[in-house]
Chains A and B, each alone.
Chain A
Amino acid sequence: MAVNVIKPGLSTTVQDLGRPGYYNIGIPLSGGMDRLALKAANLLVGNKEGTAVLEAVFMGPELKFAEDATVAVTGAELPPRVDGEPRETWTSFKVKKGQTLSFDFLKKGARAYIAISGGIDVPVVLGSRSTYTLGALGGFKGRKLEAGDKLPVGKGRGAKEGRTIPEKLRRAPGAPAELRMLPGLYWHRITASAGKHFFEDTWKVAPEADRIGYRFRGGRPLEFVPREQPFGAGSDPSNIVDACYPYGSIQVPGGTEPIVLHRDAVSGGGYFMVGTVVSADMDLIGQLQPHTTARFVEVTMAQALKARKDQAKLYEKLKASL
């Protein structure tokens, strides 16, 4: 079975739950930025939770189906249409052989997950079908979709149509988005007052926001604790001897614009980091549009682990609802 790409959208890539185990040589996890939405889309169509889907950013693709399939669209509010007829998001629906799946303009969020029964059947590379565009690895020929591509789709009966996830189980960022973070790493490099206003200020998502990382601007610059720079670090006070970057870590080059690294993170570099966004809030970042507002909220490890538990519980409820 295949799906033909009529229009690719802005940046549509094949993603699953990622490729752990190669970060030590600079190959990042990749996979859906909003993992909960990705898993939900798969469950709706009757796939296993980690099956490969399409992640569409800001704009949907136009796809022509060569066989019947069950489809679900979750994550961002990107309303689907089948041969022009509107369909609900977060709800399974059928697409028949020869029909075309298209999308309206984005209403909310940033990334939609399009699951097709049987899953996108591109080759598994280093244990995953996810696309790592920067390294031209995995996914469909290591790149985003282009018009004319023929996407292979696996065999799968597909669940029935009309299966839906209740609205209260669809997690989305608020306005401003509250990103919980655990201070640490090189937090000691900034002054106490800088540490205070980092949390007080409201930040805005910059246009440079992609799978590698999300840049924020608009808050006050961070002042550094003076020091003689260690050998090998470089002369700027925001420089460190190049080190590993955790997923979700917040680096602030020059002390001005925080960058939160995401699923296609650069694995290391020479900028200091003030802490790390908790694992439970990583999905939310994937749904932030440029120019929307966000705040960083300080939490303890106990609170971070509680947030992780809550996220897991939400997923359990979501599964139970089907």
Chain B
Amino acid sequence: MFKYIVKRIIISLLILLGVSLILYVLLRCMPTDFIEQRIVQLKASGQDVSDEFIQQMYKTYGLDGSILQGYFTWLGNVFRLDFGKSFINQRDVLKEIFDPDKMGTSFFVAAIATVFEFLIAIPLGITAATHQYSLRDYVVTVLVLIGISLPSFFFGQMLKDIFANKLGWFPVSGMKEAGITYASAGEAIGDYLRHMFLPILTVVILSIGARMRMTRTNMLEVLNSDYIRTARAKGLKESVVIYKHAFRNTMIPLVTGLAGLIPSLFSGAMITETVFDLTGIGSYALNAMTQADIPVIMTYNMFLAFLSVMGVLLADLMYAVVDPRVKLA
């Protein structure tokens, strides 16, 4: 087991190296870069920009050499745990990305949304499966399909319009009420939660569908298997048949799916955050992307790649835990 994990970690490191190379090359191949955008801005504001100044700029930002040169410089710095500074505001990348305001907000939204997603989607999937082709099944299926099909920018905007603009139950956007000093910590938390409610609701409703469909399909497959018939033939109650014998088998793909969700907890919901004006990591990364802020994008994406690789490893380990037939070697 230990040997297996070490082996997998070594392989993961190689994968990460490959990912970083591809990422860096792609970023450098973008039709525009940070300097170019900056020059355009300067020129637009009527300043004279000399060629020397441009060369100087490229040199300062380390973009003067070839792509491979740039990559190895970046890689060498990373091995010295130097992830560079953001092109945009010259602050340390690590501090920028792991800022509790950014990563924290996104993680809070994603974590709460994931918990609710599972709490709602799994029971829905199970009832839909155990009442296959009944009215309940059709209603649940149609509702979650609507959820899957709605684009987040539209659905988020709609919720905002109904609950914030028309009904006024929730604030329209942002993280906290502007210009208010809180009397107590409880009030501050309450205000924060009120601001987070609509974004979380959007993410939950949009993600329930896929998870519910998956649970339903798995459950149906399990319920049609021979060992469920055996369990019934023993005289077990239907609830025990479903929640003990069938559920453990349905859980196998769900648990491994949970491990695969780890990166999405930290990646942030780009569009939802933009709609609700949250300073999450998603909208921050989107901004960095449009401005070609290479150190930020590299670090952000490498962090997600790392989480993905670890998530896959965790999923495999989880498989061995929930399914006795799987042996790791």
A and B associate in one complex: no
